[in-house]
Every structure is written in structure tokens, then in C-alpha cells.
Amino acid sequence: MGILIAEIPVFLLTAGKGKTQFLISSVLFFAILASVMVIRKDRNRPFRPEIQHPIIDTAISTILALLFFYRWGFSGRMNSFAEFLNMPVKQCCMLIAFLLALFSLFGIDLMITTVQLLLPPRDANKKQPGKLFLIFYLFFISVLILFINSKCSPLYPFQDGNDQNTMFTVGKGVLKGYVPYRDLYEQKGPLLIFIHSFGAACNYFGFEGIWLLEIICCFFFLLITYKTTEIFVDNRALPFIPLFAAVIYSAPAFGMGDSAEEFALPLMAYAFYVGIKALKNDSFLSAKEFFFIGLTSGAVFWIKYSMVGFYFGWIACFLFYAISRRQMKDLLSGILLIAAGILVITLPVFLYFLFNSALKDLYQAYFYNNLVYYPAYRNWSYAKKLRYSMMSYRTNALIPMGLSIIGCFYMIIKNQCKTAAFLIITFLPTYHFVYISGNYHFYYCFIFSIFSITGLCFFTDLFSNLFGFIKKPAVDSKKISAPLLFTAVIMVCLVSKNLPSLEIPKNELLPFRMKDIIEKSGIEDPSILHFRILDMGVNTAAGLIPNMKYFCYYNNDHLTETLEQQLQCLEEHCVDYVLEQSTSPYTWQEIETYEHQGVIPSWQDKELYYFHYFTPKQ
């Protein structure tokens, strides 16, 4: 009876909707059930509800849960069940899938241990593949967390972020021979544009390629996080990595995913790790580490240079260290290696814009306009900017901020004063560079997640001491990994602000409604202008490349050239469609040379907005 109860959740996850699928699943289920009972009876191994292979069990059950979600998420039966529970259909299906997956762990583990009975015994002297396990575990966490929490993942019908679609449009343009800043305007760094070119090369009409890059960045961030915690708490932090990832990637600062800060996070985390390791071991960095600091800092600079304040603090720390240890010669050679690493990243960028005669455009857009025109509230005092930036940081990254503060005090209590000083000295210039402009976008504070790693060390140490205090036997980290991973997934599902968008049918989203309108028009090589608004995703969904430099409006009211060229474009009928935003379906800005054709409601924002589209007057 115990074996039957353990296997029922597995059967419910694998059973199909149709009669034939259900019959096949039933036959296979009872065949496996009978085999398990016979084999275990023959080997005198009674069934006990325990988990001996938590990572493999979790991987299999999670895959089954995702298949269950895709199979039943759009079915009529799930609609009826969701109405009975008074829940949204997608969230109801996801909740059922993960509950079944949680209870299926025992049945899956039972099948695995049964198969092991048929295999020859393992050599006890053979070493376990620890590195392989670590890589698989962290990669699996990255896939799972970002599958739910990033709108670039295949779970979501569309990534409807404005900045994301603007970057994606420029990235597509690069594939077609357009040069950023010269032919298509952008404000962010060239390396971020090239990242989106890679995403467009993977899928020209969606963000799956960007999602793969997000997974890689998340994996390396979690790997560096683990290596950093290993300095202070050995390998005890490994089971808590899923919860840490859920906290970081569920914070409001993460948003919809695909931000410059997200791609810069593992690069900055590397410098954080090697800096702490050197100070903890009371040693200087190797030549290889200095060179990689140059590579990563150069990449951060060409992604978004407002984040390089961290590296000023980093160099200041080792300047003080070199002076105190009289190792200025080692520091100078290290700085030369850092410069070499920066040059390796910078030279291809420089040559690309040099050969395309666009160095002036790069300087004007990425440096001059951002430094001169972009800063908001320029008349505010520094104290007022500091107050408002702290409010933004607290609102959008409250838990990571708390982890950072706790981690700093933890290092002081543990008599790791060098590490505590390193945290403070690197944090202050990072904060200053990020917020000095007076802008407080929610995603700015995502890069401060690197300082939360020390908070993870504290909680790992706390729980380890707690188990020792209550005199329980040592807890096997692998055995508690599965429940903690499921806890992290459930937490992400509960707090994610992106999941409600699953309730909106794909064909009701603005980009796809405009795509249908454009395709039905039969216009060859159509073009659209986003008048006074950012790119809303129409170019992505319809696979369009803009025919003008300022194809959308940017968060920079001081850049008057944008509006001037858009107005000139309207006078000359240079685009086939114009898209404009309004708070009312009945009012819009009159455009003399274009005729109003219709209105489409938006479901992106908390408040309902309307988009009006126009075509040229005959």
C-alpha cells in the first residue's frame, strides 16, 4: 500500500488528457508498480518513505511538473477547477503541478533505488564527481528560477519591457548591417547591444536567446557566490543557494529580466570574490586574476559605465593593502595587467566603430548625451539625491539590502575586519556612481546583490550552529537540498510580479495586434514610428527594422533632437504606421499628415493606457 501511495503522484503527473494517452500511462504505471514490488520483495528491501537521491529526484519531478503545466494549463478541466478554487488558471495549474512534484519525490526515489538493486555495487574507493554535481545543481537552479521569473523565458508569451524591446530592435539592426548610435539610436553600451544581437540571431522574433544568456549569467553568479561563501563557511552554504537565488531574482529590482545590471552582475561578482579571497588569505592577486579583473571591468564599462564605481573602490582597497605591505611594485604590475585586460575588450569595440566611421556617434550618444542631457533633477542637492536614492534602493531591493548590512556586521563579529572594510570601500563609490545622475529606476540597485553574498554566509553559519545547539545529528546537505529547492520555487511563484501576465492571451497583446494589422495591409517592408514613446515590442513581434535613427522616444527629455526628427518624419510621410500612447480611448494628439485608424488597449501597466495608431493621409 505504501508503494502504491508513493507512486500515485507520479502517475498523475504523467497521465495524458486523451483516452489513449491515459490508457498507455495506466498500463505503464501498473507495469512499473508490479516490477518495483516484485524486485523489492525478492531483495528483502521494505519500502520506507525516504529520499536518498534528492538532486536527481528533484530534477525529474520538476521536468514532469513543467510537462504537466504545458499539458493541462490550457485545458477546459483546469479552467473548471480554477473557477472552483477561485484562482487564475495558470497559477492554479502551476500550484497543482508543483504540489504533485513535491509528493512525487518519494515515488521517483523509490524507482531509482529499485533500479540500483539490479546494478552491481559501487566501488567505495571511487571518488564522487563533486564538480559535476555542483555544475549541474547550480545550472538547474538557474534554469528553474529564470524560467519562472524572467519574461524572456518560453513560459511567457512575450517580453513586453520597453527598454528590452528597444535594445532588441537595435541588436537586430546590427545583424542587418546597421551601426548603433549612427543609424539606430540607443543610450546604453555597445556591448549590451551586441548581446541583443546574439539574442536576435537565436530567435529574430523573441527573447529566447536572451533567456539563454540570462541562464549563463545566473549560473556564473551562483557559482561565484558559492566559491565566496566557501571561504568562510566551507561547503555548508550549498543547500541554501536556491533560496538565495530566489531572493535575488525575485526582488523588484530584477523586474522583467534582461537589464544591463543583470549581465554585469557575474562580472562584478568575480572581482568581489577574488578581492575577498586575497584579503582573507592575506595574499596578493595572481597575474591571471589581475588580467581577468581587467577583462570583466572593461566589459562592465561597455555595458553601462555608471557601474564601474565598484572598481574604483576595489583598486583603492588594494592600494591601501599594497602600501601597508610595501608591495607597490606588485600593485603597479597588477594595474598594468588590468589595463591589458581592458584593452582586450576595448580594442574590438573601438575598431568596429572606427571602420564604420561611427566613433563620433559612439562618443555623442553613449558618453556626451548620457553625461550632459540624461541626469535628472540636476538642481537638487547631493543630500536630497542621496535621500531619494536610498528610498529607491530600500523599495526595490529591501531583502538584498538587509543581507548586505547583516553580512557586514557578521564579518566584524567574526573578526574579518579587512573584509568588512572591503565591503564598505567598494559599496560607497558603487552607490555614488549609480545614483549621482539623480535618476532612480528600479533596476539600478540590482548590481548591489553582490554585497548580499556575505549575508548568505551569516545565515549558513547561523543554521549550522542551530543544528548543533539542539543536538541533532549533522544534516546531509544533499538531503535538504530538495526541500529547500522546492521552497525557493514556491517562493518565486508567490512573489513574482510577472506571473499574472500569463492570464493575458497572446493575441490580445499590443505587439501581436499591431503585427496582424501590418500583415493584413500587405505593405512591403513596412515601418513604424513610436511617437513620444519607447519601443513597445511591435518591431520585435513583426520582425521589423526601423528606417530612421530615432525610431522611438527615450527617457531623456533634454535630447530635443529626438522629437525634432520624429516631427520631421511625420511631415515627410517617412513611415507607414505611427503609434502613440494616451490615457483615453477617445483622445489623442492630432497629427496633420497622418490619419487616426484605431485604438488598442494596453495591459502592461498598473493603470490602463491606450495606444492609437495612424497611417499616412492619402
Q: Do 148 and 496 meet the contact criterion of CB atoms below 8 Å apart?
A: yes
CA distance 107 to 553: 55
In a domain, residue 494? The reply is: yes
Residues 353 and 465 in one domain: yes
Instruction: Provide the pLDDT for residue 376.
Output: 58
Least confident range of 79-93, 355-369, 424-438, 495-509: 79-93
Are 107 and 175 in contact by the 8 Å Cβ rule? The answer is no
- In one letter, which amino acid is 577? Y
81 within domain boundaries: yes
Q: Would residue 416 count as lying in a domain?
A: yes
Same domain as 597, residue 513? yes
- Which of 65, 99, 124 is a domain's end point? 124
Q: What gap in Å lies between CA 557 and CA 60, rounded to an integer?
A: 51
Instruction: Please state, for a pLDDT cut of 70, what percent of the chain lies above it.
Output: 84
End position of a domain, from candidates 475, 501, 527? 501
For residue range 157-202, what is the model confidence (pLDDT) as tens digits? 899 888 999 999 999 999 999 999 999 999 899 999 999 999 999 9
Say if 178 falls within a structural domain.
no
In a domain, 530, yes or no: yes
DSSP state of 594: E
Expressed in percent and rounded to 5, the helix, strand and coil fractions of the chain are: 70, 5, 30
**Mean per-residue pLDDT, 73-79:** 68
Question: Is residue 372, in this structure, part of any structural domain at all?
Answer: yes
Q: Name 182's Cβ contacts closer than 8 Å, sequence gap at least 6.
A: 356, 357, 358, 361, 549
Are both 378 and 521 inside the same structural domain?
no
Judge if 347 and 226 occupy the same domain: yes
CA distances from 567 to 3, 116, 170, 369, 562 (A): 72, 72, 21, 20, 9
Helix or strand run (H / E) with residue 612:
strand 610-616
How sure is the predictor about 225, in pLDDT bands with cuts at 50, 70 and 90? very high
The verdict on 321 and 449 lying in the same domain is yes
Q: Is the domain of 372 the same as that of 292? A: yes
Do 113 and 243 fall within a single domain? Answer: no
Are 533 and 594 part of one and the same domain? yes
Other Cβ atoms closer than 10 A to 370: 20
198-224 tens-digit pLDDT: 999 998 999 999 999 999 999 999 999
- Total tally of structural domains belonging to the chain: 3
Neighbours of 534 (CB within 10 A): 17
Dist CA 552 CA 159 (whole Å): 17
Examine the pLDDT at 307 and tell me if it is beyond 90. yes
Domain of 85 in residue numbering reads as: 2-124
DSSP character for 180?
B
157 within 8 A of 506, measured Cβ to Cβ: yes
Q: What is the pLDDT of residue 381?
A: 72
Per the CB < 8 A criterion, the answer to whether 137 and 486 are in contact is no
Specify the pTM. 0.81
Q: What is the mean pLDDT of residues 227-236?
A: 90
Q: What is the C-alpha to C-alpha distance for residues 593 and 494, in angstroms, rounded to an integer?
A: 49
Q: Does one domain contain both 269 and 400?
A: yes
Closest to 3 (Cα-Cα) out of 55, 57, 28, 40: 40
Which of 501, 521, 556 is the endpoint of a domain? 501
Contact predicate 522/148, CB 8 Å: no
> What mean pLDDT is predicted for residues 248-252?
92
Note whether 473 and 556 are same-domain residues: no
Place of cell 545547539: 469
Residue 455 lies in a domain: yes
Report yes or no on 61 lying in a domain: yes
Same domain, 291 and 385: yes
Residue 572 has pLDDT above 80, yes or no: yes
Phi, psi of 528, rounded to the nearest 5 degrees: -140, 140
**What average pLDDT does this structure show over 449-470?**
80
- 495 and 427 in one domain? yes
- pLDDT (tens digit, 9 = 90+) per residue, 510-555? 999 999 999 998 888 899 999 988 899 999 999 999 999 999 988 7
